[in-house]
Every structure is written in C-alpha cells, then in structure tokens.
Amino acid sequence: MSEFVSGTTRGGKAWTPKFVDDIDQKQCIGCGRCFKVCGRGVLELIGITEDGDIVDAFDDEAEKKVMSVKEGANCIGCESCAKVCSKSCITHRPLAA
C-alpha cells in the first residue's frame, strides 16, 4: 500500500500527484503565468503593502503583487503552475494516504 495518494495514468502507469503546498512570495514577481495555466481557481493575485500587509492586488497601497494559494483543496496535483513559473517559487507535496 502506498503511503501517498496515487492513481493510474491512462497508459496504466502509477502516478503520485503532488498538490500545491506554498508560494514563496518573496521570490514571486506576480507575472500571473501560474494563474493562467490553472483552470481550477487554486491561485489568486494579492497585493502586499510596504509594511507587509496583504491587500487587494489592485489597491493603491499595494507595493508589490504576488500570487497566493486561494483554494488549495481545488488542486488536482498536475504541477502545471510550477512548470510555468520562471522563479521556481511554487512548491508541491504528495498527500498522505
């Protein structure tokens, strides 16, 4: 028995999905590539003020825009977001069975 949630590909090979775990917001540039590739509503763009407070991405006080995990439970473990991230700031982990 596998210690992680796993499945089978269409070709019959075993596959262990890795679900979005975290986004390094210090490294994220807010380009939105990950957001565009994910059709499941997992991610959202947020704003961070000069003081480090989280605000709406389009708030005038937003000093920086970065991605955040909005609905991690919607992630299917495809890792497409990490594959398109030019800054490698998205981490994934398998889910314990």
> Per residue in 24-69, pLDDT tens?
999 999 999 999 999 999 999 999 999 999 999 999 999 999 999 9
The mean pLDDT of 71-89, rounded to a whole number, is 97
pLDDT of residue 2: 66
**Cβ(23)–Cβ(30) under 8 Å?**
no
Nearest to 68 by CA among 17, 97, 96, 26: 26
Domain boundaries, the chain: 7-11+22-94
- Phi-psi region for residue 32, left (φ > 0), alpha (ψ -120 to 50) or beta? left
pLDDT of residue 1: 52
pLDDT of residue 6: 95
> Per residue in 10-27, pLDDT tens?
999 999 999 999 999 999
Domain 7-11+22-94 architecture: 2-Layer Sandwich (3.30)
pLDDT of residue 73: 97
